[in-house]
Structure 1
Amino acid sequence: MASVFRRLIIGLTALLISGPGFSAAEPEGPISLWKVSSETSSLYLLGSVHVLRPDMYPLPEAMTRAYEAADELVLEVDLSKVGQYEIASIMRAHGYYESTRGVEEDLSPETLTRLKTYLQETGLSYNSVRRFRPWFLSLNLGLLALASEGYDPDSGVDRYFMKRALDDGKPIAELENYREQIRMLADEPLAVQDLALRSYLDSAPDINTQISELLRHWRTGAVDEMYTRAIAEVSEYPPLLGQMERLIDERNRKMAAKIETMLQDNDTELVVVGVLHMGGEQGLVRLLGDHYQIKQLTSSP
């Protein structure tokens, strides 16, 4: 079983990837990269995985060529503009309970029991996480599972290109901002946060299989299949369909509007957005393709 929140750990905050990266021996084929063109301008749209292992590099040549051709890098969030103190302050405000309050006050008995079982199975102390709000707890459990397998946010596709842009002096812009993203997660109804956490806990034993499937879809640019699978899994929990709409589809429409303004200037941008935002009827590929010429690229330019 799965939830959109876990998919967001996979897609928005950490797309969990396992298995080999790209290699020169692989046959050429479509990847999660598109060229979008208006009558006067063009840009590249890249579906990102936010957490990878260092040994999964290099990326396909077409991705690095797109970066080199771009005048500006555009990210969901430019983390180079957010200091550690600001991050800590935002997390204290939105991720932790104040005083002696704990997550048990906002979880159903079923989810709380499942949480304590999971923590015992993984060797974690309940007291070490009880002050985490449900959404923040889900996120941290996912990231801890990642770290135990050697995955690192610093090796994510967006971080990789952000570091290159900083080194190269290439301008960086953002579609959203860090505080906005955190508030979006924290503002989800408590009942939805509870259900998302329970879904994550129930599905944790199958995470390696899920990761391998997501990797395959990302590597081959099969973004519609990825989105369809996410919807099918979320449909097991009807309240989470609303979360999918809020955290994916509504944001897609806002991001598409901002990307459209870039197609009115003379610059070439590389827009790097979580790959789960690409597929489906309300995905960025479809939204932009309704008004502009869009072409999916292959691993070699």
Structure 2
Amino acid sequence: MKRPSFLPLSLLLVAWLGAGCASTPTARQYVPADSGNAFLWEVKDSHGGVAYLVGSIHMGKPGALTLPASMEAAFSKAEVLAVEVDTTRTDPTTLQKLVLELGTLPEGQGLSQRLDPTTRELLERTATRLGIAAQGLERLRPWLAGLLLNNLEFEAAGYKQGHGIDRAFLDRAHGLQKQVMELETADGQLRMLAGTPDKLQDLMLRDQLRREQPPAEIVEALTSAWKAGDADGMAALLLEGAKDATYRPVYERVFFERNVQMANKLDTLLAEPRVHLVVVGAGHVVGPEGIVALLQKKGHTVRQLPRDAATP
């Protein structure tokens, strides 16, 4: 079995929902509703503070996603780029060591012993489909087993790290020596996963493994929603599983709790005199519990911007 390969931490959380994808068990055809907007929101507070919020797709293929004019303008105007984690500055060796330290079970314990029978059956079926031995996953905790399987599946479909929206902004910001700040930390994201109770880790893994859509279809649907500026469609693709009471705790842990934390940080940034461009996973932006909705509840004026706007 392959050892867990290094991934930027911005992808680790996304991996639980199939690289930020639909977790509904039934495959369905997504038809984008073109809004004419970018996946970009302008946020203003009552004192004149301004920030721009981008929903990102974390992985893709080279050239699959290009930035619309309004995003280019927002990036040019912003003095600071804020991201979940600056993956360009994360040390792979240190991270790999921490992943294995937090994600490996003690000697004598096995993954299969910790899983619900339904999850165990799904795990064996997925491992067989990917051509790996389920026995090779036995020393891994559920969250790391899910990450490894997800990584193998999407890499086999041709999707790799480094071709997402957040990475494109990071590379350009560093090239221009623009200030980059992190809303979270790689260490913190890992410890959040590792600190998840066992029963919830089982649910996270089961939610990932019950997915029916092939990786190519999933990423294509997400890409279509992103290009169309279809916030409601993106929410349906990413967060439909939250309507199921069984899986609701997974979304609370991976999305909604962190949305509150990131919205609070963005609220603080709006008080600064500088303009920020904030880039987070698309699943954190949309829906009634997304960052856009949370900022509106705080009294900020938020509007989605047209794709072709030369100035935000």
Indicate the TM-score class for this superposition, using the shorter chain for normalisation. 0.7 to 0.9
Q: Which residue of 1 aligns with 2:187?
A: 179
Structure 1: distance between partners of 2:107 and 2:170: 37
Deviation at 1:8, TM superposition (A): 5.0
Q: Which residue of 2 aligns with 1:77?
A: 85
Deviation at 1:90, TM superposition (A): 1.7
TM-score (norm 2): 0.82
Q: Could you say what the CA RMSD is over the residues aligned between the two structures, in angstroms?
A: 2.6
Spell out, residue by residue over 1:64-120, the C-alpha distance to the aligned partner (whole angstroms, 9 max, x if none): 222121101100112234212320222022222233533122112332233222212
> Does 1:33 pair with 2:40?
yes
Structure 1's 296 and 7: CA in aligned 2 closer, same or farther, altered over 3 A? farther
Structure 1's 226 and 11: CA in aligned 2 closer, same or farther, altered over 3 A? farther
Structure 1's 111 and 250: CA in aligned 2 closer, same or farther, altered over 3 A? closer
Specify the SS of the correspondent of 1:58.
coil
> Does 1:289 pair with 2:305?
no
Deviation at 1:13, TM superposition (A): 8.5
- Cα pair 1:28 1:300 within 8 Å, conserved: no
Structure 2: distance between partners of 1:244 and 1:15: 12
Q: Which residue of 2 aligns with 1:240?
A: 247
Deviation at 1:45, TM superposition (A): 0.3
Q: Which residue of 1 aligns with 2:276?
A: 269
Q: Which residue of 2 aligns with 1:121?
A: 129
- Cα pair 2:285 2:292 within 8 Å, conserved: yes
Letter aligned with residue 192 of structure 2:
M
Structure 1: distance between partners of 2:69 and 2:174: 20
Residues 14-93 of structure 1 aligned to structure 2 (within 5 Å) = 14-15=19-20, 29-38=36-45, 39-93=47-101
1:199 to 172, 184, 207: 207
- Cα pair 1:111 1:197 within 8 Å, conserved: yes
Structure 2: distance between partners of 1:199 and 1:15: 12
Structure 1's 11 and 46: CA in aligned 2 closer, same or farther, altered over 3 A? farther
Spell out, residue by residue over 1:214-256, the C-alpha distance to the aligned partner (whole angstroms, 9 max, x if none): 33322223223433454443444x2321221232122111111
Number of residue-to-residue matches in the alignment = 286
Unaligned runs of 5+ in 2: 1-10, 23-33
Letter aligned with residue 15 of structure 1:
G
Structure 2: distance between partners of 1:73 and 1:11: 26
Structure 1: distance between partners of 2:18 and 2:80: 23
Letter aligned with residue 40 of structure 2:
L
Unaligned runs of 5+ in 1: 1-5, 18-26
Structure 1: distance between partners of 2:255 and 2:128: 33
Structure 2: distance between partners of 1:122 and 1:228: 27
Structure 2: distance between partners of 1:138 and 1:215: 23
Letter aligned with residue 114 of structure 2:
D
Letter aligned with residue 262 of structure 1:
L
Structure 1's 28 and 244: CA in aligned 2 closer, same or farther, altered over 3 A? closer
Specify the SS of the correspondent of 1:98.
coil
> Does 1:213 pair with 2:221?
yes
Q: Which residue of 2 aligns with 1:253?
A: 260
Specify the SS of the correspondent of 2:43.
strand
Deviation at 1:14, TM superposition (A): 3.1
By percentage of residues, which structure has more helix? 1
- Cα pair 2:86 2:182 within 8 Å, conserved: yes
1:130 to 125, 138, 149: 138
Q: Which residue of 2 aligns with 1:23?
A: none
Structure 1's 288 and 116: CA in aligned 2 closer, same or farther, altered over 3 A? same
Q: Which residue of 2 aligns with 1:22?
A: none
Q: Which piece of structure 1 moves more, 206-215 or 107-116? A: 206-215
TM-score (norm 1): 0.85
- Cα pair 1:114 1:198 within 8 Å, conserved: yes
- Cα pair 2:16 2:204 within 8 Å, conserved: no
Deviation at 1:61, TM superposition (A): 2.4
Structure 2: distance between partners of 1:92 and 1:103: 14
Structure 1's 168 and 33: CA in aligned 2 closer, same or farther, altered over 3 A? same
- Cα pair 1:31 1:297 within 8 Å, conserved: yes
Q: Which residue of 2 aligns with 1:98?
A: 106
Letter aligned with residue 144 of structure 1:
L
